[in-house]
Structure 1
Amino acid sequence: MQPYKAVLFDLDGTLINTLEDLAAASNYALAAYGYPPRPVEDFKMLAGNGVAVMLERAMPAGEATAERVAGLKEKFLEYYGVHYADKTRPYPGVPELLRVLKEKGYKRAVVTNKVEEMAKVILNKLYPDCFDLIMGQRDGVPTKPDPTLAHMAMDQLGVKPEECVFMGDSGVDVQTAVNSGALPVGVLWGFREEKELRENGAKRIIRQAHELLDILEEA
């Protein structure tokens, strides 16, 4: 079997628990347009496909138009740009995992549907010097589960798809792994349930971050 050389990580729900800050920024935007707030727990299912899709899902039925969603996104970013780390924290065990991966020489990249500039700001604060590459939502590039971002990351890291593990907490992440040719690893500490991960093609499921090391050593 080809040894694994790189790990691609989702961000929200995988590396960091962003739920409360995403909810606060979304509800700030919704309030600006006179829409009712959504409970924090709702955002476990609303998040995952980028800010615009999350806000469209959060709006009352029948209210979404391209213009309104764009306006809500602007309000969201206005708030989130200041409050992105009020309550956001790394998940237990993840900082230690990243340290070991770095020591062992694995390449490490983030592939997220979060706007790239914001992803870099958050990661530089919570995980400084932990990643070789950060790839996020950008103009002209389709979002996950399209494999384009993942393939761009692989190219820049100099690795083949079969040399990569893709680790995430949602069906979108698992689909991205499958579509890109990486090994799909689902995590159970994030926003989604095991059933969703398995139904979308997860080959491995882990409950604690350090379990990824066992998977990497199988190769």
Structure 2
Amino acid sequence: MSHFAAVLFDLDGTLLDTAPDLGAAVNHVLHTQGQAPLAEAHIRRIASDGALGLLKAGFGEEQLAQLDTPSLRQALLDHYAAHLYEGTRPYPGMVEFIAWLNRHAIPWGIVTNKPAFLTEPLMAQVTELPGCGVIVSADTLPVRKPHPDPLLFACRQLAVDPKQSLYVGDHVRDIEAGRAAGMQTAIAGWGYLDPDESLSDWQADHCFADVQSLHHWLRQP
């Protein structure tokens, strides 16, 4: 059984594959402006960059600078908020993994840079993943990842020692935050990774190709 006191996850690209609904939102905005849609593969590479990152990819920085960026960003968020859990799903193996954590009374939670007005209604619909002990969103505290405080706050809420806890994420800021918090860190190799990035540069403790590999590792004595 796991030697960790708790497991914390990033949300987008780690716990849930949210790219289908994020992509639908940015492509909706692009369509209203007469722009070509982004390809799914492109969306998956940049899905962790937030609404502004998606808009920059769709319009290009130069063109976006000439438009009403705040209005476009709000239109994207409004569309996304209305369609949070249509194409989004837990990653393969995640339902079984969370069930295993729950059976063994290993607390788990979420630390994300997604704002609470999106995170909380989304997770309320993800009934396949019960038992989440804490959700820390982008605006829960005055700071967000890569600052370690959101992770330390989550550990306090779960009453666990950060040094005995694991943080799993698919972005370098996740690993930076976990390391700064004194936690062990694992790269979610199934997430929204840029193929040009060198993952070894992130200095994570572990890297797993899929959820099943992470689950198998945690089950070892």
Please, what TM-score do these two structures have when normalized by structure 2? Answer: 0.85
Is 2:202 aligned against 1:204? no
Task: Assess if the C-alpha contact under 8 Å between 1:169 and 1:197 holds in 2.
Answer: no
Secondary structure of 2:20's aligned partner:
helix
Farther off after superposition, 17-26 or 202-211: 202-211
Alpha-carbon distance between aligned partners in 1 of 2:177 and 2:66, rounded to the nearest angstrom: 26
Task: Give the C-alpha shift of residue 65 in structure 1.
Answer: 4.6
Alpha-carbon distance between aligned partners in 1 of 2:140 and 2:111, rounded to the nearest angstrom: 15
Instruction: State the Cα deviation string for residues 155-204 of structure 1 (Å, max 9, x = none).
Output: 21222221110011222322222222211111222221685432212211
Q: Which residue of 2 aligns with 1:133?
A: 134
Q: Which residue of 1 aligns with 2:75?
A: 75
Gap runs ≥5 in structure 1: none
Structure 1 residues 51 and 61, CA gap change in structure 2 (3 angstroms): closer
Alpha-carbon distance between aligned partners in 2 of 1:18 and 1:145, rounded to the nearest angstrom: 21
Q: Which residue of 2 aligns with 1:109?
A: 109
Q: Which residue of 2 aligns with 1:11?
A: 11
Task: Assess if the C-alpha contact under 8 Å between 1:116 and 1:138 holds in 2.
Answer: yes
Task: Assess if the C-alpha contact under 8 Å between 2:143 and 2:149 holds in 1.
Answer: yes
Is 2:151 aligned against 1:150? yes
Task: Assess if the C-alpha contact under 8 Å between 1:46 and 1:58 holds in 2.
Answer: no
Task: Give the C-alpha shift of residue 98 in structure 1.
Answer: 0.4
Q: Which residue of 2 aligns with 1:172?
A: 173
Task: Assess if the C-alpha contact under 8 Å between 2:7 and 2:106 holds in 1.
Answer: yes
Q: Which residue of 2 aligns with 1:121?
A: 121
Secondary structure of 1:113's aligned partner:
coil
Structure 1 residues 196 and 109, CA gap change in structure 2 (3 angstroms): farther
Alpha-carbon distance between aligned partners in 1 of 2:9 and 2:186, rounded to the nearest angstrom: 10
Task: Assess if the C-alpha contact under 8 Å between 1:7 and 1:109 holds in 2.
Answer: yes
Identity across matched positions, percent:
26
Farther off after superposition, 29-38 or 5-14: 29-38
Task: Give the C-alpha shift of residue 215 in structure 1.
Answer: 4.3
Q: Map 1:14-33 onto structure 2 (within 5 A).
A: 14-33=14-33
Instruction: State the Cα deviation string for residues 42-70 of structure 1 (Å, max 9, x = none).
Output: 12232224333443444312234598332
Farther off after superposition, 98-107 or 112-121: 112-121
Secondary structure of 1:79's aligned partner:
helix
Alpha-carbon distance between aligned partners in 1 of 2:152 and 2:64, rounded to the nearest angstrom: 32
Instruction: State the Cα deviation string for residues 136-173 of structure 1 (Å, max 9, x = none).
Output: 12176333222222122122122222111001122232
Q: Which residue of 1 aligns with 2:59?
A: 59
Instruction: State the Cα deviation string for residues 54-107 of structure 1 (Å, max 9, x = none).
Output: 434443122345983322221012111222222111111101100111111111
Secondary structure of 1:70's aligned partner:
helix
Is 2:192 aligned against 1:191? yes
Task: Assess if the C-alpha contact under 8 Å between 1:171 and 1:196 holds in 2.
Answer: no
Alpha-carbon distance between aligned partners in 1 of 2:180 and 2:57, rounded to the nearest angstrom: 25
Secondary structure of 1:76's aligned partner:
helix
Please, what TM-score do these two structures have when normalized by structure 1? Answer: 0.85
- Tell me the matched-pair count: 217
